[in-house]
Amino acid sequence: MKDQYRVVVIGGGVVGSSVLYHLAKMGWTDCVMLERSVLTAGSSWHAAGGIHALNADPNMAALQAYTIDLLSEIEEESGQNIGLHMTGGLTLAGTPERWEWLQSAYRVFQSIGIEDCRLMTPKEAQEACPIMSTDGVLGAMWADREGYVDTTGTVHAYAVAAKKRGAEYYEHTKVEELNQTAEGWEVVTDKGTIRCEHVVNAAGLWAKQVGRMAGIELPVSPLKHHYLITDTIPEVAALDFEVPMTVDLEGFTYMRQDQKGVLVGIYEIEHEHWAMDGAPWDYGMELFQEQLDRIENELTLGFERYPAIQDVGIKTWVNGAFTFSPDGNPLVGPVPGKKGYWCACAVMAGFLQGGGVGKSLAEWMIEGETEADTYCMDIARYGEFAKNKRYIRETTGQFYSRRFVMTYPNEQLPAGRPLKRAPAYSDMDAAGAVWGTSWDMEVPLYFAPKGFKETPTLKRSNAHDIVGAECKAARETVGLLDISAFSRFEVSGPKAEDWLNGMMASRLPGPGRARLAPMLAPSGRLKGDLTVMNWGDGTFWIMGSYYLREWHMRWFNDHLKDGVQVRDLGEEICGFSLSGPNARKVIEAVAETSVDLPFMGVTEADIGMIRARVARMSVCGELGYEINCRYGDHITLRRMLLEAGAEHGIREIGFNALLSLRLEKSFGIWSAEFTQGYTPGMTGMDRWIDWSKEFTGKAAAEAERDGNGPAQTLVTLEIDADDADASGYEPVWHKGEKVGFVTSGGYGHTTGKSLAMALVNTDLATPGTDMTVHVVGVERPAVVIPASPYDPDGKAMRE
């Protein structure tokens, strides 16, 4: 072992081994992996080893599909048998709602390129898995690319393949200390000190301690997980094929064959955390005693689903620990504020996702960005709030217990909430606000009568008419929306304008004006759909999506230059917006200084006794104003605006109304129409680009503009829907061929139409083109319509 490497990977499980392999594969061979015990010690050795391409998040599904394709390659490259069994798999639905969801999910998987799925009747499912009882099963979904691997063999295959490419790994080498230096990091081990440029935390159950060595508190926690392996089952032994991986969603179990018996795993409702501050250093190849009382109900359901196991013995019980993040996805990427420190941890499904994680992290380190959109596992999707132990306990426990529980799009889950609340929260709550969450902030979804309760559903909910009334207010009188959950960054310093000019692809606004500003990565893909405000005093604001605060701040800091300061105002500034034809009357009634602003004008103004920053703009497509104030002024601002607006028909509205209103204007939003996987040409953001200047990503954007253009283009669809609307990732068809997918959808309460935005093949992105869209699993007629079905000329917001 040398005393200096380019990269030190800490942890010799499946994730660390995959990271090492991909770094070497991409040319960084001066890398070493350190394992305090032996390879696989921790979680990898006792994992069930299941693999499948299916995932509700299309980006995770793509990474999983990559991992599956990679497995046979590393087996051949390493010469190490990985015990790959591609058995196919079943997912069972045992309630009408679940069957409806499964039919809808089947279509979503088609959208994201998983073509080896099909729906099955209960009879077909039993033929595929003869040892299963289909009592209560309404239907199933089959996927070809499901199976399992030998976990120990797979970890060694990654490590051996990495070594063959020039990387190194050492067992029985414990990392004891990390010290940041000007050049990178000192890694202090029990075998000596190593200097390196990059450190990768792939420590699994010990990720918490390895984070703390660098002054980082990671939102991770281990939880215990049970599975059992039976003795030989005669019915299994008699088959001439392996039984498929089978997931019984209502029974909270998964099953696969193990030799001539089966393995049955349980996601128990009564979850149990373990070693929240990190596993003991001497833990590694141990298991916990099985806790039958804790899993009794799920175990009973499993024995009922697979009657053949009732007559045989249980050969092995496994009750081991796996590490989870609050949402169950991995924590990957560069840690903000810790240059050269990278995370590759909380990979709960390591054998399924480890290949994709390793690939993405290697790309990130070597090339500066990933091929895929990795926000779903980016560590920067969490902020300071996620370091709290109770938050971690509640959210990781909720994810674990709901692993097989159906979650509806309009369902609000309670863990880790309420956390941060805008100052006027109590007043809005008393006014009937129904709350959702954005990052750590409670946001009003809509305002309902006392005692109202929304029913979780895949279709239009019982809040539909309430949201419609709020949309009507914003269109006909004036709506008041809490905009505390908008991100705000202040850019200042003598080089602020020059820096912004290079960061943003658009022309910068002049003093007293605002402008929409796409921000690009060097690859030409989007890094933000932002709004830049020029206050005329040398300072600028950047406004964007609140939940991207940490993500955007990391990007800004990574590209910061001397003479520029960027400050996150998210803990200081909040506010309200006014939208509707009476918005001007309301704000002028309380303004002590002029708010006579042109469209996209900004100014500092006295609103009553509040010194506020006011912008004339609207996400609703109406005459609108955004009024930004200090946190301490929020309550007063709300009351003042409501009092002034009483004679003008003011009504408080929530974000559900905003989503409907923006669809009627064909206004895209981040994480739907705009992501770091899309380009300006695909999304229409290229119309804001100032091609005459230099900016990050210009060469790639020009190549798209001057080449053949994007293969797919964003359009607006009108769907002949009934009692449900598209929401995202539903397939779009033209003459029986899949030609795109929905990015977001909903009901346009003003137009009375079911609307969606979609990325479709560019040659079909013409208004009048007939399409079909699967909505909650049912194919519905659709047509491409001109953008902005409401007020296409934009007169309302400019008047």
- For residue 152, the number of C-alpha atoms closer than 13 Å in the C-beta half-sphere is 5
Sign of the dihedral through C-alpha 351, 354, 359, 360: positive
Instruction: Read off the CATH number of the domain in which 556 is found.
Output: 3.30.1360.120
Q: Measured between alpha carbons, how far is 317 from 638 in angstroms, rounded to an integer?
A: 59
pLDDT digit string, tens, across residues 107-135:
999 998 888 899 999 999 999 999 999 99
Residue 639 lies in a domain: yes
490 and 637 inside one domain? yes
122 and 258 inside one domain? yes
Residue 588 lies in a domain: yes
Query: What pLDDT score was predicted for residue 55?
Result: 81
Residue 527: strand, helix, or coil: strand
215 and 231 inside one domain? no
DSSP secondary structure string for all residues of 305-352: H-GGGGGS-EEEEEEEEEEE-TTSS-EEEEPTT-TTEEEEE--TTHHH
Place of tokens 């001539």: 260
Residue type, 557: N
Given 645, 663, 680, the domain boundary residue is 645
Instruction: Read off the CATH number of the domain in which 749 is found.
Output: 2.40.30.110
DSSP run (H or E) holding 242: none
- CB-CB neighbours of 297 under 10 Å: 14
Sign of the dihedral through C-alpha 354, 358, 364, 367: negative
Given 363, 379, 395, the domain boundary residue is 379
DSSP run (H or E) holding 356: helix 350-367
Residues paired with 314 in a beta bridge? 230
Place of tokens 């499904």: 349
- The model's pTM is 0.96
108 and 208 inside one domain? no
Q: Which of 180, 555, 560 has its CA nearest to residue 336?
A: 555
Contact 401, 268 (CB under 8 A): yes
Contact 26, 218 (CB under 8 A): no
Residue 664 lies in a domain: no
563 and 545 inside one domain? yes
Q: Measured between alpha carbons, how far is 564 from 776 in angstroms, rounded to an integer?
A: 49
Mean pLDDT of the chain: 97
Residue 620 lies in a domain: yes
Query: What pLDDT score was predicted for residue 78?
Result: 98
Residue 450 lies in a domain: no
Contact 431, 447 (CB under 8 A): yes
Q: Measured between alpha carbons, how far is 193 from 2 in angstroms, rounded to an integer?
A: 9
Structure-token pair, residue 623? 């005459």
Residue 736: strand, helix, or coil: coil
Sign of the dihedral through C-alpha 152, 157, 158, 163: positive
513 and 578 inside one domain? yes
171 and 209 inside one domain? yes
164 and 211 inside one domain? yes
Q: What residues contact residue 413 under an 8 Å CB cut-off, 6+ apart?
A: 398, 402, 407
Long-range contacts of 286-290 (CB under 8 A, 24+ apart): 287/46, 287/317, 287/318, 287/319, 287/320, 288/224, 288/319, 288/320, 288/321, 289/319, 290/226, 290/228, 290/317, 290/319
Residue type, 560: L
Q: Measured between alpha carbons, how far is 213 from 201 in angstroms, rounded to an integer?
A: 10
Q: Measured between alpha carbons, how far is 263 from 68 in angstroms, rounded to an integer?
A: 21
Residue 662 lies in a domain: no
* Containing structural domain, residue 562: 486-645
Contact 243, 327 (CB under 8 A): no
Instruction: Read off the CATH number of the domain in which 94 is found.
Output: 3.30.9.10
Residue 23 lies in a domain: yes
In the chain, count of helices (H) and strands (E)?
20, 37
Structure-token pair, residue 374? 């990795």
Q: Measured between alpha carbons, how far is 143 from 88 in angstroms, rounded to an integer?
A: 6
561 and 634 inside one domain? yes
Tallying the residues shown for the chain, one arrives at 799
CA distances to 6, 407, 724, 726 from 467, in Å: 55, 21, 15, 17
- For residue 634, the number of C-alpha atoms closer than 13 Å in the C-beta half-sphere is 22
Query: What pLDDT score was predicted for residue 299?
Result: 95
Total domain count, the chain? 4
Q: Measured between alpha carbons, how far is 68 from 727 in angstroms, rounded to an integer?
A: 28
Given 587, 614, 645, the domain boundary residue is 645
Residue 697 lies in a domain: no
Residues paired with 543 in a beta bridge? 488, 531
Q: Measured between alpha carbons, how far is 356 from 379 in angstroms, rounded to an integer?
A: 15
Q: Measured between alpha carbons, how far is 227 from 325 in angstroms, rounded to an integer?
A: 21
* Strands of the 650-652 sheet, one edge to the other: 602-607, 610-615, 624-630, 573-579, 478-482, 650-652
Q: Which of 536, 489, 483 has its CA nearest to residue 508?
A: 536
Q: Measured between alpha carbons, how far is 254 from 179 in angstroms, rounded to an integer?
A: 43
Q: Which of 529, 517, 489 has its CA nearest to residue 675?
A: 529
Query: What pLDDT score was predicted for residue 540?
Result: 98
φ and ψ at 701, to 5 degrees? -65, -40
- Give the single-character DSSP code of 386: G
156 and 75 inside one domain? yes
Query: What pLDDT score was predicted for residue 54?
Result: 79
Structure-token pair, residue 559? 């590209």
Contact 777, 723 (CB under 8 A): no
Contact 32, 194 (CB under 8 A): yes
- For residue 737, the number of C-alpha atoms closer than 13 Å in the C-beta half-sphere is 5
Query: What pLDDT score was predicted for residue 398?
Result: 97
114 and 28 inside one domain? no
Structure-token pair, residue 508? 């910068």
Long-range contacts of 406-412 (CB under 8 A, 24+ apart): 406/97, 406/98, 406/101, 406/249, 408/456, 408/457, 408/458, 409/458, 409/727, 410/454, 410/456, 410/457, 410/461, 410/463, 411/456, 412/436, 412/437, 412/445
Q: Measured between alpha carbons, how far is 704 from 178 in angstroms, rounded to an integer?
A: 44
Residue type, 115: E
φ and ψ at 226, to 5 degrees? -100, 145
Low-confidence ranges of the chain (pLDDT < 70): none
374-396 burial: b if 16+ Cβ within 10 Å, else e = bbbbbbbbbbeebebeebbbbbb
CA distances to 90, 95, 759 from 121, in Å: 11, 14, 32
78 and 94 inside one domain? no
